[in-house]
Amino acid sequence: MLSIFKHPKGLYFLFFTEMWERFSYYGMRGLLKLYMVNYLFITLRQHLQGKAYDTPGGDKTIFGWETIRKLLPTVSPESVAQCVTDKFTALTNSDVVSNIAPMAADLARSVAEQTCMATPQASVLYGWYTGLVYMTPILGGLIADRYLGQRKTVIVGAIFMAVGQFMMASEACFFIALLMLIIGNGAFKPNISTQVGSLYPKGDERKDSAFTLFYMGINLGALICNLICGTLAATRGWNWGFGAAGVGMIIGLCVYLAGLRYTKPHPNSEVASNPQTDEDKSKPLNRAQWGQVGALVALCTLNIVFWMVYEQQGNTMQTWADEQTVWPVVLGFQIPSTWYQSLNPLLIVLMAPLFDMIWSWQRDKGKEPSTIMKMAIGCFLLGGSFIVMIIGAKVVGSDKGSLMWPVLCVAILSIGELFLSPVGLALVTKVSPAKIVSMMMGVWLASSFFGNILSGYVGQLYTTMDKEYFFLILMVLGVGVGFLMLAVRKPLTKAMGEEKV
């Protein structure tokens, strides 16, 4: 089991700060695409997520939408013809489970056409938003390294994100709210992660365990947020869900401020033992350090494909969970499809201690896989998870099917995530030159930027092609990047200058 009580006090404050920040981020993200498709961009809306289309509206009041829409790929009616047919059929049939009456044919046709046209655009916007929140950390890391320091930058980022979440309650401010969240995340994300590494002296074996524990905090926040934000959106309205995400960010900021005295770097950490004077900051990196930077950048480049496939769980997999999955009713309560977003973090929280035990046992035996080998295994598992969906798409067809298909897929995908993401975070703090560690954490997170952007464009194919072929593409991409990591493992390990990375 994780050595939970053998870490500095600061880790626990960072754990809960990150938990609430991720509550805020994933709570909003779980609603984002469904909100755009079923409420924001159509004229007959779902006032309650997943319920009837019964509220008139329109997209004319959204500031900047007309300009942004022109930048999005053109969607032809012909390319979404099958989507319209399936959606029309679903709307004209009653949904006994959700207590939704059948819709009149003319209204059903209008809603089907609007949602099917909006879905590809929403997929691209989802990809750009989730991508940009991982691009701005490069700037946030640079600002922390050179000007404000990590702790002040985290506070500024948290304030921006809290304001952005509350602005989501205004339809007119939708894109402004997204911008606030993107800026805030850029300031917050790289600097909270690097503070975890700075709590430990050089060579401390607890660091990997600390990042696994920290990663559990991330997923604990992602677990509970959809149970709260998603449920509020389904029972009280979308704004309640977004408001709850804002409250979560405020709690996270308060926790961080309360623990400031405990989060100072360890005197013998890489950061504290290499104090950066103005002269140090201006010195160029030496050859060995450039080798380390180059190796990390190469690894981050390969990660792009991983995140491109992985992020489909919040995009096209959420669409599958919403439109083609039968969700149970428990004690008269219809479980909303947004709860699907809590499954991945639940599995991470449950499995992270198990894998930490396995890797600790392997480490004691001298058989622990290297970091890059772990990451390659993660890619193989990611690609393999979509074999389940290939079979599921063939079985379900255009109907609604068992919850087993998306659940089994995300279970395998989550194991793959454990092999890549937390060990990669630890690797950055181990290998990066101390003077640019926050910026290099931003580079690591930037791989998610490109992956998320591409996930939005790949997600467009979900509407326009057979589902089994779409999931086949995801499988090939995941497995393929795993083989690439194995191919470059030796030169990257040599460049990093570490025996066991």
- Dump pLDDT digits (tens) for 211-221: 778 878 888 99
Fold of 9-496: Growth Hormone; Chain: A; (1.20.1250)
Residue 1 pLDDT more than 50?
no
* Distant-in-sequence contacts of 271-276, Cβ < 8 A, 24+ apart: 271/194, 271/198, 271/434, 271/437, 272/198, 273/202, 274/434, 274/435, 276/145, 276/434, 276/435
Residue 498 pLDDT more than 80?
no
d(CA 409, CA 145): 40
Lowest-confidence segment of 290-294, 367-371, 407-411 by average pLDDT: 290-294
Total-model pTM: 0.77
The percent of residues in the chain predicted with pLDDT above 70, rounded, is 94
Could you please report the per-residue DSSP string of 339-364? GHHHHHHHHHHHHHHHHHHHHHHHHH
Average pLDDT on 447-456 reads 87
d(CA 501, CA 298): 14
Average pLDDT, the chain: 86
Lowest-confidence segment of 43-57, 270-284, 304-318, 424-438 by average pLDDT: 270-284
Average pLDDT on 164-193 reads 92
Q: How confident is the model at residue 167 (pLDDT cuts 50, 70, 90)?
A: very high
| N-term to C-term CA, the chain | 23
Average pLDDT on 53-74 reads 90
Q: How confident is the model at residue 273 (pLDDT cuts 50, 70, 90)?
A: low
Lowest-confidence segment of 103-117, 128-142, 307-321 by average pLDDT: 128-142
Which pLDDT value is given to residue 75? Answer: 77
Q: What is the pLDDT of residues 207-261, one digit of tens each?
A: 777 877 887 888 899 889 988 999 999 999 999 999 999 999 999 999 999 999 8
Residue 414 pLDDT more than 50?
yes
Which pLDDT value is given to residue 44? Answer: 93
Residue 499 pLDDT more than 50?
no
Which pLDDT value is given to residue 409? Answer: 95
Q: 341, 378, 86: which is closest to 219 by C-alpha? A: 341
Query: Which residues 6+ apart lie within 8 Å of 103 measured at CB?
Result: 52, 53, 91, 92, 111
Query: Which residues 6+ apart lie within 8 Å of 356 measured at CB?
Result: 1, 2, 209, 212
> In the chain, where are the structural domains located?
9-496
Which pLDDT value is given to residue 368? Answer: 81
| SS3 of residue 53 by DSSP | strand
Query: Which residues 6+ apart lie within 8 Å of 99 measured at CB?
Result: 334
Residues 270, 198 contacting (CB under 8 angstroms): yes
Which pLDDT value is given to residue 272? Answer: 56
Which pLDDT value is given to residue 497? Answer: 66
Burial degree of 297 (CB within 10 A; 0-12, 13-18, 19+): middle
Q: What torsion do the CA atoms of 69, 70, 73, 79 make, to the nearest 10 degrees?
A: 80
Q: How many residues would you count in the chain?
A: 501
Q: 200, 134, 192: which is closest to 430 by C-alpha? A: 200
The percent of residues in the chain predicted with pLDDT above 90, rounded, is 38
Q: Which two tokens stand for residue 92?
A: 């004209």
Which pLDDT value is given to residue 161? Answer: 96
